C-alpha cells in the first residue's frame, strides 16, 4: 500500500488513494473485447433497423401533382393531376373531396395501369355535399 506523507498539513499523494490501494478491484483484462463486441452488436442492430425502414418505405409511392380541380355543383367535383411512375408498374390513387370544415364529402380510388411513366389524368367524383377542395390522398405503386 502506498503511504501518504503529511507535510505542512497537506497530503503528498492522491487523497482517495491509488488503484493499488483497492485490492478487491478486478483487473482490466477483457474490457476491450467487451467494448468491441457491444459496438459490433449495436452496429448490426442499427444497420438492420435502417434496412427495415428503407425497404418498408422505399419507393412504394408514385409522385403526383395536382394541375387543377373544380367543383361543378354540390354533387360533383373534378380533378386533373399528373402522375410520374415507373413504366412497368401500375398505381392506385385515392382522390378525396373535402368541404370547408375539412370533412370528406366524396372519395374515389383510381387505378392507373402500367404504361407511360408520366401521364396526365382527369377524374370526376360524386360528392354528398358542396366540396371546397379536391386532393390526392395517396398514389401507391402496385
Distance CA 71, CA 137 (A): 18
* Spans of all domains in the chain: 6-57, 63-141
120-133 tens-digit pLDDT: 999 999 999 999 99
Distance CA 93, CA 27 (A): 65
Distance CA 124, CA 108 (A): 9
Q: Region 13-19: what's the mean pLDDT?
A: 70
Flag whether pLDDT at 1 surpasses 60. no
Cα dihedral: 20, 22, 23, 26 (round 10):
-100
Confidence band of 11 (pLDDT split at 50, 70, 90): low
Q: Region 69-85: what's the mean pLDDT?
A: 89
Distance CA 122, CA 136 (A): 12
Which residues, 6 or more positions from 43, have their beta carbon under 8 angstroms from its beta carbon? none
- CATH number for region 63-141: 2.60.40
Provide, rounded to the nearest whole percent, the portion of the chain with pLDDT above 90.
38
Asked whether the whole model's pTM tops 0.85, one would answer no
Q: Classify each residue of 2-20 as buried b or exposed e, where b means 16 or more C-beta atoms within 10 Å of its C-beta.
A: eeeeeeeeeeeeeeeeeee
Distance CA 111, CA 121 (A): 11
Amino acid at each position: 500500500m502506498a503511504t501518504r506523507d503529511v507535510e505542512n498539513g497537506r497530503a503528498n499523494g492522491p487523497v482517495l488513494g491509488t488503484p493499488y490501494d483497492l485490492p478487491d478491484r478486478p483487473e482490466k483484462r477483457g474490457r476491450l473485447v467487451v467494448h468491441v463486441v457491444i459496438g459490433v452488436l449495436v452496429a448490426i442492430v442499427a444497420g438492420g433497423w435502417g434496412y427495415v425502414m428503407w425497404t418498408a418505405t422505399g419507393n412504394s409511392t408514385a409522385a403526383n401533382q395536382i394541375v387543377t380541380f373544380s367543383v361543378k355543383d354540390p354533387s360533383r367535383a373534378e380533378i386533373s393531376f399528373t402522375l410520374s411512375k415507373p413504366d412497368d408498374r401500375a398505381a392506385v390513387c385515392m382522390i378525396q373531396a373535402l368541404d370547408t370544415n375539412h370533412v370528406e364529402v366524396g372519395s374515389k380510388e383510381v387505378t392507373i395501369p402500367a404504361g407511360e411513366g408520366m401521364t396526365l389524368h382527369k377524374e370526376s367524383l360524386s360528392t354528398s355535399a358542396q366540396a371546397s377542395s379536391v386532393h390526392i390522398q395517396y398514389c401507391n405503386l402496385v
